[in-house]
């Protein structure tokens, strides 16, 4: 993806386009699976872990990415859709492959509406399906 498109995407989410943020966004866009901080550190081998982490947190705060806790003990990150507000109605399922350890967004598999008890307010939710992906099957 061109640098100008990356800059525009950051600016559309009110994120200042620093060099590191552009690199992190480019890596996330190239990935076909969710990436952990460690994955990004490997991909951006000269980058500082703290700076990558701060970029991820800024992206998440501004709803450019969402985090996934897939049960591996390592939080993964994936891009949100352009209209996503990261509210429960935008939440989709994720698939974690037990063989290759990759985590995929299942954007067309939405969580069902759940009736919460009175005075309960959902702020986020997660649904992870575990099994074998099409490559490992």
- Confirm if 85 and 119 have CB atoms less than 8 A apart: no
**Residue 61 contacts residue 16 (beta carbons within 8 Å):** no
Return the pLDDT at 131: 96
Residue 123 pLDDT: 78
pLDDT for 18 = 95
Whether 54 and 43 have beta carbons less than 8 Å apart is answered as no
Per-residue confidence (pLDDT) for residue 128, from 0 to 100: 93
Per-10-residue mean pLDDT, the chain, length 137: 89 94 96 96 93 96 92 93 69 92 91 86 84 94
Classify 106 as helix, strand or coil: strand
Domains of the chain in sequence order:
3-131 (1.10.10.10)
Is 74 in contact with 38 (CB distance < 8 Å)? yes
DSSP 31: -
């Amino acid at each position: 993806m061109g640098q100008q498109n990356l800059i525009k995407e950051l600016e559309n989410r009110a994120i200042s386009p620093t060099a590191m943020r552009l690199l992190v966004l480019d890596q996330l866009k190239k990935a076909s699976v969710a990436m952990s901080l460690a994955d990004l550190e490997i991909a951006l081998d000269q980058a500082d872990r703290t700076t990558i982490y701060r970029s991820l947190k800024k992206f998440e705060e501004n709803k450019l990415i969402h985090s996934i806790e897939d049960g591996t003990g390592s939080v993964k990150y994936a891009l949100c859709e352009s209209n996503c507000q990261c509210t429960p109605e935008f939440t989709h399922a994720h698939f974690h492959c037990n063989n290759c350890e990759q985590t995929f967004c299942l954007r067309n598999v939405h969580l069902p509406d759940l009736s919460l008890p009175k005075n309960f307010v959902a702020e986020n939710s997660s649904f992870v399906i575990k099994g074998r992906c099409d490559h490992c099957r």
